Amino acid sequence: MKPADIDTFRKALLGWFAVHHRRMPIRETRDPWAVWVSEIILQQTTVSSGLPYWERFMLRFPTVEALADALLQDVLHAWAGLGYYSRARNLHKAAAMVAANGGGIPDTMDGLLALPGIGRYTAGAILSFAFGKDAAVVDANIARVLARLESVECDPKSSKVQRLLHTTAERLLPHGEARDWNLALMDLGAGICTPVQPSCSECPVSAFCVAFHQDRQAELGISPPRPPMTEQTDVAIVLTDDTGRIALVRRPNEGVWGGLWEVPRVTMNEDETPEQA
């Protein structure tokens, strides 16, 4: 995009956002802790699914100190249903680090990146949404918008393309309006610049979009198909004693359902029956 067009582009997008922004409780808070928790939950969870969990989690752990003081098993129990339990473990570790340093959530990029579980996107989201600082963010929706806007080839999830898109996001970011700007790009990607059949006729910034003018929306900003998933069959073994107690084992902290308890299980080979496994 030409430097002379950037201001007009910003005004068009922010004007659209003022009318068409998505309304949701998770956006109403400026509390750094609440924003932090919401961003961790939404890393692998849709807003509609994650909102009830966020509300319950904030009631259970309303402050960073409350989470830091909790037992890990209690935190994992509160996280049940969200999956990707490493997020909960990292959040617990990070809360303990913050609490040990006085309880103040860092308001700098370097300070946030020093905490477990916080990457560049989450740090930028906390800085812009909670602290009102000029920090650009690039999530999947924004990556797609920017890739089409600038006609960026290749997988938008690749490290090289991510660096390029971050540079673009920082160049377009309007000073003092990072919160609304980041949310506007997200909403544009979620509702207009969708992966399939984008609504270009309704887009407020299609005039600036290279992909639109080249009629390449369907091929740009789209990640390649994932490789096919491998199937695995496990056999669960329920062992009880005369008193009705059930034998449980704790899963390793890393991997699926990390740190949770379950009945013993073994993985079947393709040529085995459950009894043989």
Q: Verify that 120 and 210 share a domain, yes or no.
A: no
pTM of structure: 0.85
Assigned domain for 35 exists: yes
Question: Which candidate, 213, 219, 222, 210, places its Cα nearest to that of 150?
Answer: 210
Query: According to the model, what pLDDT value does residue 123 have?
Result: 98
CB-CB contact of 199 with 209 (8 Å): no
Q: Verify that 112 and 194 share a domain, yes or no.
A: no
- Which domain, by its residues, includes 45? 31-129
**Two structure tokens written together for 259:** 């740190």
Query: According to the model, what pLDDT value does residue 264 have?
Result: 87
The amino acid sitting at 191 is: G
CA separation, residue 160 to residues 74, 152, 164, 175, 227 (Å) = 39, 11, 6, 26, 21
Domain boundary among 112, 129, 146: 129
Q: Verify that 175 and 199 share a domain, yes or no.
A: yes
Q: Verify that 173 and 236 share a domain, yes or no.
A: no
Assigned domain for 207 exists: yes
Q: What is the CATH number of the domain that holds 144?
A: 1.10.1670.10
**How many separate domains does the chain show?**
3
- Give the pLDDT of the chain (277 residues) as one tens digit per residue: 888 899 999 999 999 999 999 999 889 999 999 999 999 999 988 888 999 999 999 999 999 999 999 999 999 999 999 988 999 999 999 999 999 999 999 999 999 999 999 999 999 999 999 999 999 999 999 999 999 999 998 787 788 889 999 999 999 999 999 999 999 999 999 999 999 999 999 999 999 999 999 999 988 877 777 778 788 888 888 889 888 899 888 888 777 777 778 888 888 887 777 777 6
Give the whole-angstrom CA distance, residue 55 versus residue 110. 28
Q: Verify that 80 and 116 share a domain, yes or no.
A: yes
Assigned domain for 223 exists: no
Domain boundary among 129, 147, 162: 129
Q: Verify that 35 and 12 share a domain, yes or no.
A: no
Q: Verify that 19 and 146 share a domain, yes or no.
A: yes
Q: Verify that 41 and 112 share a domain, yes or no.
A: yes
Q: Verify that 181 and 250 share a domain, yes or no.
A: no
Assigned domain for 191 exists: yes
Q: What is the CATH number of the domain that holds 53?
A: 1.10.340.30
Assigned domain for 192 exists: yes
Q: Verify that 17 and 56 share a domain, yes or no.
A: no
Q: Verify that 139 and 19 share a domain, yes or no.
A: yes
Query: According to the model, what pLDDT value does residue 277 have?
Result: 63
Query: According to the model, what pLDDT value does residue 204 have?
Result: 98
With H, G, I as helix, E, B as strand and everything else as coil, classify residue 247: coil
Assigned domain for 222 exists: no
Q: Where are the beta strands (DSSP E) in the chain?
A: 234-236, 249-250, 261-262, 265-267
Domain boundary among 80, 95, 129: 129
Query: According to the model, what pLDDT value does residue 169 have?
Result: 97
Assigned domain for 95 exists: yes
Query: 3-state SS of the chain: helix, strand, coil percent to 5?
Result: 50, 5, 45
Assigned domain for 220 exists: no
Tell me the catalytic residues.
39
Q: Verify that 60 and 118 share a domain, yes or no.
A: yes
